[in-house]
Amino acid sequence: MAAAPQYDIVIANGTLVDPAAGRNGRFDIAITGDRIAAVEPDLSAATAGQRIDAAGQLVIPGMIDTHAHVYQHVTGRFGLNPDLVGVRSGVTTLVDQGGPSCMTMGGFRHFVAGPADSRVLCFISCYLVGGLEGHLYPDLYGPGGVNAEHTIRVAQENADIVRGIKAHAEIGGQSRWGLDVIRIGKTISRETGQPLYIHLGQLWPTADSAPIPDADELIRELVPIMEPGDILAHPFTRHPGGFVSASGEIHPILLEAVHQRGLLVDVGHGSHFSFDAARRVLDAGILPFTLGADMHGYNVQVSEPGADGSDLRAANPFFGVAPFNLTIAMSELLHLGVPLEKVVAMVTANPAKLLRMEAEIGSLQPGMAADISVLNLEEGRFQLSDNSGVTVTADRLVRPLFCLRGGVRFDADSPLIPDAIAA
């Protein structure tokens, strides 16, 4: 009888970029069961049940999307299928931002996080109703729609999948209730020891009766409520109330918040991403910590049997036509001049730290989860566009090939992966 192979799988000859481990170069990776068993310059002498040749390919720790919307069915069109956004797009971990709430966490655990092949976590919604239909009805999201005690209890009971608290600071809500909800969100965050994640940029129409709100005043009021480790999202939004002020400058208070007070920034790409805003924010010296894609049923094309729903999509304030996903967002940051190693850190080491899971995911070191993404870094001339009408020509395009999630292989065959567009 032949001896059992030393390892289940060896991924050989790839270019490993693992910022947390300080590795950037040619390495072989061995997997046993659902764990990384070895990372060595050369494992060609080792025996393996399966040997995958990754020559010419980029091998990185399993990608973590810090801003997903995958509470499928419960949040209407908004929630996407987790595995189409996740493992079948080369992404091993998803963080649903504010889909599930204290009232709907049970459904999220049993019908989404549990059955998915992707690792699915969440930031619990600050609001009782969660992210139903993508927060379409503003009247549900005032202070009267928040119960801190209930939310704290559910966050604590589900601490294995709840890794933070989600709320929105934007001028539609501000015109109705000021920032009261954010203050309650901070209480929930403090009581649970979980970071507060704040959506910036207009989401709701402003109230008819209110004076025209000042987006810059909102930032001045918001930042002092937030604490080190809390997250500001959507820095590159073209909607008012983001990092770029009405006069086109970066708010000095945001520069101070990020550089001196330890607030973190998540890209949260979505349909409101703007190359112009991104350039201004990066030029001002703010490098986002993490790179959430923020895909949902209103900003990506989903082919659903029986229903087109394009009118409904087009009426949504977050409707967009520029195709994107996490790897397109990575390609855009490369185009904007962010070095590859930093872009990789934004989808691996940094989100793992944000989730307080850096001993388990975000790096490829023996004993850690065998969550691995294998990508192609294609060279050529590729067209990338945003929804403000800007088109750029990039010379590199990141394309997912496959991933291992807990040692199980998934090919990147999701229909949500945009086609490469030649420039």
Pick left, alpha or beta for residue 213 (phi over 0 → left; psi -120 to 50 → alpha; otherwise beta). Answer: beta
Closest distance of CB 418 from Zn ion, Å = 18
Binding positions for Zn ion, 242-271, rule CB under 5 A:
none
Which residue lies nearer to Zn ion by CB, 294 or 386? 294
Residue type, 27: F
Cβ of residue 294: shortest distance to Zn ion, in angstroms? Answer: 4
The nearer residue to Zn ion, 202 or 363, going by C-beta atoms, is 202
CB of residue 178 to Zn ion, shortest distance in Å: 22
Contacts with Zn ion: how many residues (CB under 5 A)? Answer: 1
Please report how close the Cβ of residue 96 comes to Zn ion at its closest, in angstroms. Answer: 9
For residues 133 and 294, which CB has a smaller minimum distance to Zn ion in the complex?
A: 294
- Which range of residues in 207-215, 292-300, 338-346, 411-419 is near Zn ion by CB under 5 A? 292-300
Q: Does 18 bind Zn ion (CB under 5 A)?
A: no
Segment contacting Zn ion by CB under 5 A, of 290-298, 340-348, 365-373, 380-388: 290-298
Nearer to Zn ion by Cβ, of 294 and 332: the residue is 294
Instruction: Give me the helix-helix angle, 148-157 and 180-192, nearest 10°.
Output: 30
**Residue 230 vs 294, nearer CB to Zn ion:** 294
Phi/psi at 144 (5° precision): -70, -15
**Least distance to Zn ion, CB of residue 402, Å:** 26
Residue with smaller CB distance to Zn ion, 10 or 70: 70
Q: Output the smallest distance, CB 166 to Zn ion, in A.
A: 9
Taking CB under 5 A as the rule, does residue 294 contact Zn ion? yes
CB of 97 to Zn ion, least distance (A): 5
Q: Which is nearer to Zn ion, 32 or 299 (CB)?
A: 299
Q: Which is nearer to Zn ion, 19 or 292 (CB)?
A: 292
Residue number of the CB closest to Zn ion reads 294
Stretch that binds Zn ion, among 25-33, 39-47, 288-296, 415-423 (CB under 5 A): 288-296
Closest to 48 (Cα-Cα) out of 60, 40, 59, 56: 40
**What's the closest the beta carbon of residue 147 comes to Zn ion, in angstroms?**
22
**Which residues of the shown chain bind Zn ion in the complex (CB under 5 A)?**
294
